Amino acid sequence: MKISLIVVGRLRKGPEATLIEDYLLRFDRIGRNLGLGPAHVIEVEDKKGGGKAGEAALLARALPDNATLVVLDERGKLLTSPEFSRKLSGWRDAGQRDLAFMIGGADGLDKSLLARADFKLSFGKMVWPHMLARVMLAEQLYRGASILSGAPYHRA
């Protein structure tokens, strides 16, 4: 199952980019044997200043055909890491070929994308900077694959 992280904004070289690369590389290594991955990041940037609606059009165009869409939203469902890993395996076991996680810009996602989502995921009631949300998502993908593989990374 291919995984896309479709995000608003360009991430420059730095600690966040390094963490994302590292976690996605780890995920790809462990997930491959589980039928998960590869994972890649698709960045979109609204250079015309269209706000949430402009970002939504770019994000929607980047969405793979027939992908299950998971949006990150503070009002979404809170999951434990083991519950998240079971969601991943459930989508895989249902025959889903493409899974897309979508992270909006500083103002969040447009209501049209929220309505289109197959699942809304929250990392808590606090609002996180969208660049840190990418890191957190990449880490949880790796953690989820680790849980499914029985690796000792997750200790709970």
pLDDT of residue 141: 98
Question: Span 17-44, mean pLDDT?
Answer: 96
pLDDT of residue 114: 97
Judged on CB neighbours under 10 Å (0-12, 13-18, 19+), 125 is exposed
Q: Which domains does the chain have, with CATH numbers?
A: 2-149 (3.40.1280.10)
Q: What is the pLDDT of residues 40-61, one digit of tens each?
A: 999 999 888 888 999 999 999 9
Instruction: Please tell me what DSSP assigns to residue 139.
Output: H
Residue 152, pLDDT > 90, answer no
Q: What is the pLDDT of residues 104-119, one digit of tens each?
A: 998 899 999 999 999 9
Residue with tokens 């462990």: 30
Are 141 and 23 spatial neighbours (Cβ–Cβ below 8 Å)? yes
Strands of the 68-78 sheet, one edge to the other: 39-44, 2-8, 98-103, 68-78, 119-122
Instruction: Between 156 and 122, name the one with better pLDDT.
Output: 122
